Amino acid sequence: MKALKSNRISMIGVPLQYGADRIGVDMGPNAIRGSNVQARLESLGYQIHDLGDIHVNRTIEPYQTGEKLKYLKEIISVNSQLCEKVSAEMGKGNFPLVLGGDHSIAIGTIKGVLQHVSRLGVIWFDAHTDVNTHETTFSGNIHGMSLAVALGFGHPDLVAIGGLEAKLRPENVVIIGARSIDRGERTFLKEQGIRVFTMHDIDRFGMKQVMEEALAIVTNGTDGVHLSLDLDGMDPNEAPGVGTPVSGGLSYRESHFAMEMLYERDCLVSAEFVEVNPMLDQNNKTANTAVELIGSVFGERIL
């Protein structure tokens, strides 16, 4: 499958904060919109259909101590809606661009894409690996479990979204920028054989080599690639408006170079940009950076 078969992009906002259990990230989609993402993409020749936001119930009961996974019911509801919306747009031949919201929304995005792309590669840019399960989580925050769920591991009601057969294969997944990995996640990643490029690898080999290896993995035998980009993959000096910042992340230019290589490879069939939290941002810097990265992954160049 070739990326961007048409120039039609369906933009879907998901103002969800329950997966992170931190106020503010629900304002991420509108912050990205407010940084002129639609005008930027239209200037590159794309037709943008902004579908608005997935409905999130703002009046649910506060998280109750004793529940293993926080806000499970509402996160299932939101991701089920998102799965259906993404699948419907792909059925029309449109490219789904999902704006978060916390990273638990990757469950719905990926499950929706899997309705049309059975063998999907995924590049996961993140300071974290998000492969905790209900057995290994310390926090109970589902945004730290989304990749595990997409691989078929975790709470059965989350895994069942979009159908049990809709799941990623570990050999088609690459994580880039990781530098904060829980003990249970280390075990999971080794058992599943998932390739992780930590910041040490990027320091040692450079982004060009890392991306070349990553692209070789995610395009090997797949029918398309999904980009899941958490802004906390970048260094907090570059993207301060995130809920779980970790020092020593990707630089501005490393991040753009990676997006430029993705565009050149012409393999993307879907993308999401998540974890922009305007309440923690500085002069909308993180939302602006997200839009600039979106520009690069859709073909914007310096010259």
Write out the catalytic residue numbers.
103, 126, 128, 130, 143, 230, 232, 275
Which DSSP string do the residues of 210-238 spell out, in sequence order? HHHHHHHHHTTT-S-EEEEEEGGGB-TTT
Give start and end residues of each alpha helix (H) in 161-223: 183-192, 199-218
Rounded CA separation 104/161 (Å): 13
Give residue 237's Cα distance to chain centre: 20
Burial (Cβ within 10 Å: 0-12, 13-18, ≥19) of residue 61: exposed
Scored b (16 or more CB within 10 A) or e, 207-239 reads: beebbebbbebbbeebebbbbbbbbbbbbbebb
